[in-house]
Amino acid sequence: MRTRWAVGWRFWAIFSELLLIADCRNRVLFCPHPQPLSHIVGEGSRAFPLANWRLLPCVLAACLLTVVLTACQPNNASPSPAATNPTTPPPADQPPPEPDIPTFRYKIVNTYPHDPQAFTQGLEFHDGDLYEGTGLKGKSSLRRVELRTGRILQIHRLPSEYFGEGITILGDKLYQLTWQNGVCFVYDRRAFRQITQFRYDGEGWGLTNDGKHLIMSDGSEVITFRDPDTFAEVRRITVRAQGKPVKNLNELEYIEGEIWANIWYSDIIARIDPSTGIVKAWVDLEGLPVPNRDIEAVLNGIAYDRQNKRIFVTGKNWSKLFEIELVPPRNAAPTQDDATR
């Protein structure tokens, strides 16, 4: 605004000077322009404005020019507030693009027998034995199994209305989800005696723990962390790979700071960052030698022996259970898998 006034004032000064020049040429008094100004104001001018109407077009042109230039003058001297104090926030920091997700393969280290009648929904290794939860109404159970022989050492059968799902051991307690019954049973780990039970909304699929919280899947891309004393949800993550949700997360295992999750109806395990939900790697178990495998006999069991860093996998009604080592993809950077091989 100040610049516009300055421009207007400048042209008003020129206009006034023209008046003065005209007056000078007529009165020759106090004239600041000793040279002839006929080229500016014209020959034979007289006292302006009333004395010399021939100067009128020039004056009007000067006024018009003043208005036009004032209107068009860029207001450089008074930058808009937006220029000095931008109200538009800078672009939010974009998360760095996720690198390509490496896919690990596997090597079979050992093969063990597995009950082909076990519709496996949960698997865990603890103190030298396997613990297994099985599903289907009327066939659901909780088992302790000898690894080497596959022999059932201890079993608790669920009432026929319950469809058993994932299991996990935390402290002296063993937790078992149900699929659509909305009930989590809590047992004494040694006696398989029920201590209590919790209710929850939605479906129960996989269960594991990080030593502090229960970690639960429900078939979606969401994993919830729950208080082991109340089963209340503490936090949740949404599992994504390259920005896209990964659904059908099923049986879970917590391995060296990662959540491993079977993806239902596939031979793929997602290795998930528990703080962000981002899939850090895949494990492709295609080709495991499972005889008589029908469409429902999907991969659905991961167990980890923390003391000896052994990984076990099996599936629904599989007659075998495999101990595997991971085989990294070519050019893969060294990872913690070196510790689990």
**Residue ranges in contact with Ca ion by CB under 5 A:** 123-124, 253, 302
CA-to-CA distance for 162 and 340, rounded, in angstroms?
35
Tokens of 288: 């495991």
Q: Smallest distance, Å, CB 302 to Ca ion? A: 5
Separation in Å, CA 222 to CA 82, 243, 249: 42, 14, 8
CA-to-CA distance for 141 and 179, rounded, in angstroms?
13
| Cis upstream peptide for 49 (omega within 30°) | yes
3-state helix vs strand vs coil in the chain, percent to 5? 15, 40, 45
Query: In the complex with Ca ion, which residue's Cβ is closer, 25 or 316?
Result: 316
Tokens of 105: 């393969």
Q: Smallest distance, Å, CB 246 to Ca ion? A: 17
Query: In the complex with Ca ion, which residue's Cβ is closer, 17 or 267?
Result: 267
**Residues paired with residue 120 on neighbouring β-strands, in sequence order:** 134
CA-to-CA distance for 113 and 290, rounded, in angstroms?
11
Query: In the complex with Ca ion, which residue's Cβ is closer, 24 or 285?
Result: 285
Under 8 Å between Cβ of 195 and 185:
no
Q: Smallest distance, Å, CB 226 to Ca ion? A: 16
Q: Smallest distance, Å, CB 336 to Ca ion? A: 18
Residues in CB range of 280: below 8 A, 6 or more apart: 101, 258, 271, 272, 273
Query: In the complex with Ca ion, which residue's Cβ is closer, 55 or 302?
Result: 302
Q: Smallest distance, Å, CB 151 to Ca ion? A: 20
Q: Smallest distance, Å, CB 84 to Ca ion? A: 59
| Cis upstream peptide for 97 (omega within 30°) | no
CA-to-CA distance for 238 and 247, rounded, in angstroms?
9
Under 8 Å between Cβ of 216 and 202:
no
Query: In the complex with Ca ion, which residue's Cβ is closer, 297 or 332?
Result: 297
A 10 A CB-CB count for 242 gives: 12
Query: In the complex with Ca ion, which residue's Cβ is closer, 22 or 259?
Result: 259
Q: Smallest distance, Å, CB 131 to Ca ion? A: 9
Query: In the complex with Ca ion, which residue's Cβ is closer, 253 or 323?
Result: 253
Query: In the complex with Ca ion, which residue's Cβ is closer, 18 or 130?
Result: 130
Q: Smallest distance, Å, CB 304 to Ca ion? A: 8
